[in-house]
């Protein structure tokens, strides 16, 4: 049996999508940061990746990811309103921000920052990649992008930073601007990477994971009841795991805005497995 190599994001918000998959013989599962998941899929190191949504239109080489990749139907990591785990931390009003340090783990969130700076805030700050260390980021820049667990638990009182730090939730800003959810990531792979039964297994894993968020949070944060509660509430209230018409409209609008901002080329067709 040829096992499907799955590359998943290692953050808490991805755990409901992979619940129980480590015990499914058809899959070989690994965890990485979002940017690495994309690199592995583009380079052929995995067969199906939980990739940042912007990476669907940014393959390595070739004529366009939309010609190569298909998306697993019905599944995503999304939010409608506050996401809590993708945020700008800023020491000044956004209208006065002249530089932003960007978490190197991120791809979609970096693209969203560029879109929001252009369309929502009307600024053109200098952007600099940086390891996800907020104090270090704010030494060099006016604001910093953090994603994942670091953003979720990052306090706004930052040692070594004299100014007050404000957390700006990018999911909330996007929804306020568009009225739509935001899709952060989804499963994608090349044609014929998955059989119908394997697609169903991924969908069933999501259903089981969504029903087990308390268990997931307990296992993810052993020995920390406070973080377990925050984590379970976050999975239950902030993160959505569907991919319906609203999510598709949101992705397509994001791609259009990203193309206008010069982040990607002109978007091509969006395809799901089985279409």
Q: How many residues does the chain have?
A: 275
Predicted pLDDT at 105: 84
Domains of the chain: 4-78+181-260 (3.40.190.10), 86-178 (3.40.190.10)
CA 257 – CA 160 distance, rounded (Å): 36
Instruction: Answer whether residue 70 shows pLDDT above 70.
Output: yes
Please give the distance of CA 21 from its chain centroid, rounded to a whole number.
20
Confidence of residue 1 (pLDDT cuts 50, 70, 90): low
Predicted pLDDT at 158: 85
Confidence of residue 60 (pLDDT cuts 50, 70, 90): very low
Name the more confident of 163 and 21: 21
| pLDDT per position as a tens digit, 146-160 | 999 999 999 988 877
> Residues of the chain with pLDDT > 70: what percent?
96
Q: Which of 45-49, 62-66, 120-124, 175-179 has the lowest mean pLDDT?
A: 62-66
- Dump the DSSP string for 52-75: EGGGGG--SSSS-HHHHEEE-TT-
Instruction: Answer whether residue 263 shows pLDDT above 60.
Output: yes
Question: Quick one: which of 212, 206, 256 has its CA closest to 231?
Answer: 212
For the residues 217-237, what does the mean pLDDT come to? 97
CA angle 111, 117, 120 (to 5 degrees): 115
Predicted pLDDT at 164: 85
Instruction: Answer whether residue 268 shows pLDDT above 90.
Output: no
**Mean pLDDT across the chain:** 92
CA 226 – CA 118 distance, rounded (Å): 38
Predicted pLDDT at 67: 60
Name the more confident of 139 and 57: 139
Q: Are 8 and 29 in contact (CB under 8 A)?
A: yes
Question: Quick one: which of 206, 90, 105, 212 has its CA closest to 148?
Answer: 105
Predicted pLDDT at 85: 96
Phi-psi region of 104 (alpha: psi -120 to 50; beta: other; left: phi over 0): alpha
CA angle 20, 23, 25 (to 5 degrees): 130
Count Cβ atoms within 10 A of the Cβ of residue 167 and give its class: 0-12 exposed, 13-18 middle, 19 or more buried.
Answer: middle
| pLDDT per position as a tens digit, 190-206 | 989 999 999 999 999 99
Confidence of residue 106 (pLDDT cuts 50, 70, 90): confident
Token pair recorded at residue 18? 């992979």
**CA-to-CA dists, residue 198 to 51, 94, 188, 235, 265, angstroms:** 18, 45, 13, 24, 32
Token pair recorded at residue 186? 């989804």
Residues of the chain by 3-state class (helix, strand, coil), percent to 5 = 45, 20, 35
In the three-class reduction of DSSP (H, G, I as helix; E, B as strand; rest coil), residue 41 is classed as helix
Q: Which of 56-70, 78-92, 140-154 has the lowest mean pLDDT?
A: 56-70
For the residues 158-168, what does the mean pLDDT come to? 86
274 strand-pairing partners: none
Predicted pLDDT at 62: 42
């Amino acid at each position: 049996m040829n096992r499907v190599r799955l590359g998943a994001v290692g953050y808490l918000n991805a755990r409901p999508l992979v619940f129980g998959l480590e015990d499914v013989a058809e899959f070989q599962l690994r965890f990485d940061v979002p940017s690495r998941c994309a690199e592995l899929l583009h380079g052929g190191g995995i067969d199906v990746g939980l990739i940042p949504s912007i990476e669907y239109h940014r393959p390595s080489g070739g004529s366009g990811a939309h010609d190569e990749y298909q998306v697993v139907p019905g599944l995503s990591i999304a939010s409608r309103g506050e996401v809590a785990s993708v945020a700008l931390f800023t020491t000044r009003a956004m209208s006065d921000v002249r530089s932003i340090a960007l978490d190197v783990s991120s791809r979609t969130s970096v693209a969203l920052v560029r879109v929001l700076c252009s369309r929502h805030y009307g600024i053109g700050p200098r952007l600099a990649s940086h390891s996800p260390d907020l104090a270090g980021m704010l030494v060099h820049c006016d604001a910093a992008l953090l994603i994942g667990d670091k953003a979720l638990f990052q306090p706004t009182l930052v040692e070594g930073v004299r100014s007050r730090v404000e957390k700006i939730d990018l999911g909330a800003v996007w929804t306020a601007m568009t009225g739509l959810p935001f899709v952060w990531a989804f499963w994608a792979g090349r044609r014929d990477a998955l059989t119908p039964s394997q697609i169903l297994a991924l969908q069933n894993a999501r259903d089981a994971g969504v029903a087990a968020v308390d268990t997931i949070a307990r296992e993810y944060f052993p020995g920390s009841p406070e973080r377990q509660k925050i984590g379970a509430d976050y999975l239950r209230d902030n993160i959505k795991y569907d991919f319906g018409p609203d999510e598709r409209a949101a992705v397509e609008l994001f791609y259009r805005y990203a193309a206008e901002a010069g982040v990607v080329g002109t978007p091509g067709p969006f395809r799901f497995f089985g279409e």
